[in-house]
Amino acid sequence: MTKETVLVTGADGFIGSHLTELLVREGYNVKALSQYNSFNYWGWLENIDCLDQVEVLSGDVRDPHYCKHITRGVDVVYHLAALIAIPYSYVAPDSYLDTNVKGTLNICQAAMDNGVKRVIHTSTSEVYGTAQYVPIDEKHPVQPQSPYSASKIAADAMAMSFYNAFDLPLTVARPFNTYGPRQSARAVIPTIITQIAAGQKSIKLGDVSPTRDFNYVEDTCRGFLALANSDKTVGETVNIASNFEISVGDTLNLIRDIMQSDVEFITDEQRIRPGKSEVFRLWGENAKIRELTGFSPEHSIEDGLRKTVAWFTDPQNLKHYKAGIYNV
């Protein structure tokens, strides 16, 4: 059988690079889009073991002509390219509209024009905002509590409009809080690990009371693949969640125990979101993805954190991070 050709946008990022590796292992012909830059730098794709089996493309989803060019001959598009940092969205919201909303429009239009068989559009649990009830299922209202989440709500709507208006075979994948090797230090788990690994005795944090539904990156990527391989998910919005809730504070204590550290945690005011913008509770229901695809996560929070700590504490990996600088 001829192997399917898949395109991963945002392949140079955290989740995208792991998804690229998984797709190569599963035998797909993989095209990986890295955001164009004059250094010819491919982000985290530079660190994957199977780079010689990947066709790396340098470009930008904000350009509709380029999107049409790279989707020719592609069977499945995994659309992950996005601006995702919430603090940066407070100061540069227009950038989020360009990349997240218009970028999604460009990919959907290109996929439709080129007859792509499946599109997996990446959403985020941030669109739900603070839980009105738990666990959060796909019928939970969306709440734009930051410019970032507002842009993703709009991007999800744009993507789904192509299914409703043009029958584009599309699924909205809605992962909850993914963590693991290569994650940006703007996220809380790598923030803690990198500061401890760098030898700091006082760890700067924002609010540690919110709860999150943390998912190890390999599970999130397996969820993407499961959604793409099921005809039942076409036209659906589907959570990728663990159905497990833990506070940020308890997560940090787990990391401290795993790293055998006695660090103290101190509040850094610049890391605290505006009051109405903080998402205080996320706990995702994963019944729908289990029913439609049979998928369930394999990693407990303890198992995933141990693997994450092992990766970050390797000096060759830690050197990619600036532990003393607040990364928005």
| Kind of pairing between the strands at 170-175 and 118-122 | parallel
Check pLDDT > 60 for residue 4. Answer: yes
260-264, 267-271, 283-287: segment of lowest average pLDDT: 267-271
Q: What is the mean pLDDT of residues 286-314?
A: 98
Q: For position 284, what pLDDT does the model report?
A: 98
Question: Token match 């709440």: residue?
Answer: 143
pLDDT: is 162 or 188 the higher one?
162
Predicted TM-score (pTM) of the model is 0.96
Does 278 score more than 90 pLDDT? no
Burial class (CB in 10 A: 0-12, 13-18, 19+), 294: exposed
Whether 28 sits among the annotated catalytic residues: the reply is: no
Check residue 142 and report its DSSP letter: P
Q: Which position has the higher pLDDT, 32 or 192?
A: 32
Q: Classify 218 in phi/psi space as left (phi over 0), alpha (psi -120 to 50) or beta.
A: alpha
Please provide the DSSP assignment of 192-247 as one string.
Answer: HHHHHHTT-SEEEES----EE-EEEHHHHHHHHHHHHT-GGGTT-EEEE--S--EE
- Residue identified by tokens 């803690």 is 192
218-265 tens-digit pLDDT: 999 999 999 999 999 999 999 999 999 999 889 989 999 999 999 888
Predicted local confidence at residue 201, as pLDDT: 85
More confidently predicted of 270 and 166? 166
Which entry of 78, 96, 128, 148 is annotated as an active-site residue? Answer: 148
In the predicted model, what is the mean pLDDT of the chain?
94
Q: In the chain, where does the domain assigned CATH 3.40.50.720 lie?
A: 5-178+215-240
- Report the range of poorest mean pLDDT among 121-135, 226-240, 261-275, 312-326: 261-275
Pairing of strands 76-79, 54-59: unpaired
Q: Helices 301-312 & 188-197, crossing angle to 10 degrees?
A: 50
The owner of tokens 């429009």 is 105
CATH fold of 5-178+215-240 reads: Rossmann fold (3.40.50)
Q: Write the pLDDT tens digit of every residue in 171-180.
A: 999 999 999 9
Tokens for 327, please give them: 């990364």
Q: For residue 207, what pLDDT is reported? A: 80
Percent residues over pLDDT 70 in the chain = 96
Amino acid at 45: L
| pLDDT value at residue 222 | 98
Of 205, 105, 119, the residue nearest 161 (C-alpha)? 105
Instruction: Give the CATH number of domain 181-212+244-281+300-318; options: 3.40.605.10, 3.40.30.10, 3.90.25.10, 3.20.20.70.
Output: 3.90.25.10
pLDDT value of position 270: 63
Domain span(s) for CATH 3.90.25.10 in the chain: 181-212+244-281+300-318
166 vs 208, higher pLDDT? 166
Furthest-apart CA atoms within the chain: distance in Å: 57
Work out the burial of residue 4: count CB atoms within 10 Å of its CB; fewer than 13 is exposed, 13-18 middle, 19 or more buried. Answer: middle
Q: What is the DSSP string of 263-274?
A: -EEEE-GGGSPP
- What is the pLDDT, as a whole number, of residue 275? 65
Q: Select from 56, 60, 53 the least CA-distant residue to 42.
A: 56
